[in-house]
A and B are shown apart, each in its own frame.
Chain A
Amino acid sequence: MTDAPDTPAPEAPEPAPPAATGPLVSVRGLTRQFRLPSHFLALKKPKLQALGGVDLEIDRGEAFCVVGESGCGKTTLGRIVMGLLGPSSGEIHFGGTRIDRLSESQRRPYRARMQMVFQNPYASLNPRRSVGQTLAEPVRALIPGSRAEEVRDRVIDVMETTGCAPDWADRLPHEFSGGQRQRIAIARALVTHPEFVVADEPVSALDVSIQAQILNLLADLREARGLTYLFITHDLGVVRHFGSRVAVMYAGRVMELATTAEIFARPRHPYTQLLLSSIPKLEGGSFSKERPASEPPDITRAQAGCPFAPRCPIAGERCRREVPKLVAAGAARCACHAVEEGRVAA
């Protein structure tokens, strides 16, 4: 895949002090296409629509979850918010300032304030750097003018708060287990004292008993440091446990958005309902009803209508023609004609 973002505009406003009110992060009309590999003479360059227009607002202190299956665009969303990828169109605001068109030097202060934890702690840590060096790096890079003892104090402090033993500082990543590495990755994300952390499947590569350790750590840090999370996951159990609000994504769009309690108590969108009824449960019952084989959505073709319509048991003619908008439905927001028309209880 080749990246094809807009070229960022050279001029942009000075970083503003964080606004005390309003959402910490807001995303408006975000789209992103990827060019797919094709013959260089091909007349039609195939494209993949990873995000098809996403609007989100994340308030301070939230653990905002984005849940969805592979290819739904959740990772692309996280990377665009972090500035690791450019959007094809749309805006990203952080603390009231638009940040998606900033130059790299203008963006740097924001990089200290927003950090990321990746899924695979085996790939995200430099194998040739000691833990101490790994943790000092973001401070040196993002907080220019830090004196050596300031860097050291920050590293010691962050290791303590994330449960890294002091003697880890001189050791290399390969000496640690997956759970320990993820602790180090979290420490690295927090060493610049960010307000906002994007965590992309941070526990998916870990064993169950280790997942609990990391989820507890992330929850403690949210409390202790007043962190705001954008938590990207495919695991609804993690969402239910960890999330304050959740956006359910499908084929690059938000299908439903509500508080976590609301989603689990009253799923409205047929896709959310399918997702929840598919979770295996300790008390059983999720695999007792057989369903016909379904195909994942084809995001390489322009969609007419709702992307879920081909799999939807209640899709009507309008669903195949017109893309539903994310609109208020009871205590949630839902992108479904059936819900909007009252065919499904809101």
Chain B
Amino acid sequence: MSALLEVRDLRVAFPRGRSDEVFALRGVDLSLKRGERLGVVGESGAGKSMLAFAILDLIQSPGRIAGGSIRFDGQNLLAMSEREIRRVRGKRIAMIFQDPMATLNPVLTIGRQMAEALEAHGRISEREARRRSVEMLKAVQVPQAEARYDAYPHELSGGLRQRVVIAIALLAEPEIIIADEPTTALDVTIQAEIMALLLRLCREREVGLILITHDLAVVAEVTERLMIMYAGRCVEEGPTSEVIARPRHPYAAGLLASLPGHTEPGARLTQIPGSMPPLGALPEGCAFRPRCEHAYARCHLERPELEPDLPGRRVACYLPLGGRT
């Protein structure tokens, strides 16, 4: 089966000074089948949010997409006019951001905003808009959905707001939801509620999910496939459970080993020395090399490409853990 969304060698650049550029994405591939759930994991500055913005053509000037292709359902998104892309963005590909107030308009009622989402699909009577919106609020388990339809966003708790954002996203009957740290601002008990809901809805409605997060455990709970990003590139990709059970890239392994609470209590946490280099000052060769204890001469000279590894997996490393296949 061919992929619903196919991103190839995507590059995003920001100007630095008069004639120079810094690349926030340095050639990223991504593919998503219909109904598939993919996790994109990385630390701040790794480029994971940039990837989401680029897919939806939301890179703000002076940033620009500097190369690559994005094919959605056979069409090249990068070749589309702004009008055409609006028929995709927010409709066939919906977005959920970390801060629900980035999506919700504080001066409009929940109902007004839901009706707008429905009207974007075509004319609809006020009664019908209300009926379908309330139904959707019930589907995302907002209590007292009728009353909440007439409420303003500030009258709702953070968790309920995020449920409303999910409801609005689903009204458009999207084929893919891109969720960028959707529960990072929420408490852990509310996170569990929201993610369980999102997981069920995606399964039931066969909606694909690209879940962007720094939290490997959240990705492990929700996704089938996983991409680990570092310094604007994907360093490892594969089935989520396999990557977590047996990471091949030293960075992926280091991230997993440094998670507190998953190792012997009180034992020293494995730490990755140093920190991710700024995108404007990446070293020659492998970007992870200065922090990697396995690095050897070749890692200084050449940049490892993301290449097929174990079945269904890819890794960008000359010396993957456990040996070359």
Interface residues of A (CB under 8 A from B): 69-70, 177-180, 207-213, 215-216, 219, 234-242, 260-261, 274-275, 277-296
Contacts and interface: CB of A to CB of B under 8 A. Distances in A.
A290 B199 CA distance: 10
Interface string B232-275: 00000000010010000000001110111111011011111101
B143 A213 contact: no
A241 B266 contact: yes
Contact of B188 (A180, A275, A288): A275
Of the listed residues B187, B188, B200, the one surrounded by the most CB atoms of chain A closer than 10 A to its CB is B188
A49 to B, nearest CB: 18
A237 B262 CA distance: 7
B195 A287 contact: yes
B309 to A, nearest CB: 20
B216 A210 contact: no
Interface in B179-212: 187-193, 195-197, 199-200
A70 B185 CA distance: 10
Contacts of A180: 275
Interface string B55-87: 000000000000000000000000000000000
B43 A296 contact: no
Contacts of A239: 261
Contacts of A286: 192, 221
Nearest to A276: B188
Contacts of B258: 208-209, 211-212
B216 A282 contact: yes
Contacts of B159: 293-294, 296
B141 interface: yes
A148 to B, nearest CB: 34
Contacts, number: 146
Nearest 5 CB-CB pairings of A with B:
A237-B261, A212-B258, A241-B260, A278-B192, A69-B187
Of the listed residues B218, B261, B273, the one surrounded by the most CB atoms of chain A closer than 10 A to its CB is B261
Given A281-B221, A296-B157, A241 B269 contact: yes
A258 to B, nearest CB: 14
B172 interface: no
17 contacts: A69-B188, A69-B189, A69-B190, A209-B272, A212-B270, A212-B272, A213-B273, A240-B260, A260-B265, A280-B218, A282-B259, A286-B192, A288-B199, A290-B141, A291-B192, A294-B190, A295-B160
B225 interface: no
B44 interface: yes
Nearest to B142: A293
B321 interface: no
Contacts of B265: 240-241, 260-261
A189 B272 CA distance: 24
A216 B200 contact: no
Contacts of A296: 157, 159, 187, 190
A182 B5 CA distance: 40
A233 B216 CA distance: 19
Given A216-B269, A281-B217, A237 B260 contact: yes
Contacts of A293: 141-143, 159-160, 163, 193
Contacts of A242: 260, 266
Given A288-B196, A291-B192, A294-B159, A212 B271 contact: yes
Nearest to A295: B157
Contacts of B200: 290
Given A207-B275, A237-B262, A290-B200, A284 B220 contact: yes
Nearest to A298: B157
B99 interface: no
B50 interface: no
Contacts of A179: 275
A283 B241 CA distance: 8
Given A237-B259, A280-B217, A281-B221, A213 B271 contact: yes
B173 interface: no
B188 A241 contact: no
B146 interface: no
A178 B218 CA distance: 23
B286 to A, nearest CB: 16
